[in-house]
């Protein structure tokens, strides 16, 4: 399958929506970070496709349910559509850190599934996240550009990544700034 558009992988909590130490368990708890839905719309208008890559261990932990998670995704997708954007696909890991799965970030399983499903060249892709796990996942999957946003857990992640000498390719204050960097880096402009 031939890749038609460049791909941007996004984490969810702390990148698109406000995160919580108690998890986002229901659609009522989902709140967009300012400008994040608009940032995704700008990506889509500029010729990119967006795939969500998210750890959701609240399922394994029994804190929430798959129907609640699907409702959260639907609310998110509706808010993004209202701004003119769309999510091409969603890959999530429901497992806990103790289960040893291949999909929980920083392992690359979810990105590898997406690469296989859509024939994506990882070297041309981007990953935007707010944690060291997101950056590690991108590196482990061979993603060309790993970006850190300072929303969510980004400030703490930046310190961790610097201590580990594994800095992101770019650090942005939020998703909109990350998207603007991606578009500028690729030389894309919004489609008429």
Per-residue pLDDT of the chain (192 residues; tens, 9 = 90+): 454 689 999 999 999 999 998 899 999 999 999 999 999 999 999 999 999 999 998 898 889 999 999 999 999 999 999 999 999 999 999 998 888 899 999 999 999 999 999 999 999 999 999 999 999 999 999 999 999 999 999 999 999 999 999 999 999 999 999 999 999 988 655 544
Tell me if 30 sits within 8 A of 76, measured CB to CB.
yes
Q: What is the pLDDT of residue 188?
A: 58
Q: What is the pLDDT of residue 1?
A: 46
Does the pTM surpass 0.85? The reply is yes
Q: What is the pLDDT of residue 4?
A: 62
Q: What is the pLDDT of residue 190?
A: 53
Topology (CATH level 3) of domain 7-186: Rossmann fold (3.40.50)
Residues labelled catalytic: 11, 13
Rounded CA separation 82/85 (Å): 7
Rounded CA separation 153/134 (Å): 11
Of the CA atoms within 13 Å of residue 91, those in its CB half-sphere come to 20
């Amino acid at each position: 399958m031939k890749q038609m558009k460049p791909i941007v992988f996004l984490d969810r909590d702390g990148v698109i929506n406000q995160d919580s130490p108690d998890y986002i368990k229901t659609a009522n708890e989902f709140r967009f970070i300012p400008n994040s839905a608009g940032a995704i719309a700008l990506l889509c208008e500029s010729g990119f496709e967006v795939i969500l890559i998210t750890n959701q261990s609240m399922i394994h932990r029994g804190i929430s349910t798959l129907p609640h998670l699907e409702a959260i995704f639907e609310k998110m997708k509706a808010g993004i559509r209202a701004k003119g954007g769309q999510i091409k696909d969603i890959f999530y890991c429901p497992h806990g850190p103790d289960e040893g799965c291949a999909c929980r970030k920083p392992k690359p399983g979810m990105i590898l599934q997406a690469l296989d499903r859509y024939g994506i060249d990882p070297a041309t892709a981007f990953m935007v996240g707010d944690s060291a796990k997101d950056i590690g996942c991108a590196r482990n999957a061979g993603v060309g550009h790993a970006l850190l946003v300072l929303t969510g857990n980004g400030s703490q992640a930046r310190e961790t990544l610097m201590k580990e000498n594994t800095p992101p390719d770019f650090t942005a204050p939020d998703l909109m700034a990350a998207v603007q960097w991606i578009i500028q880096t690729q030389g894309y402009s919004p489609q008429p």
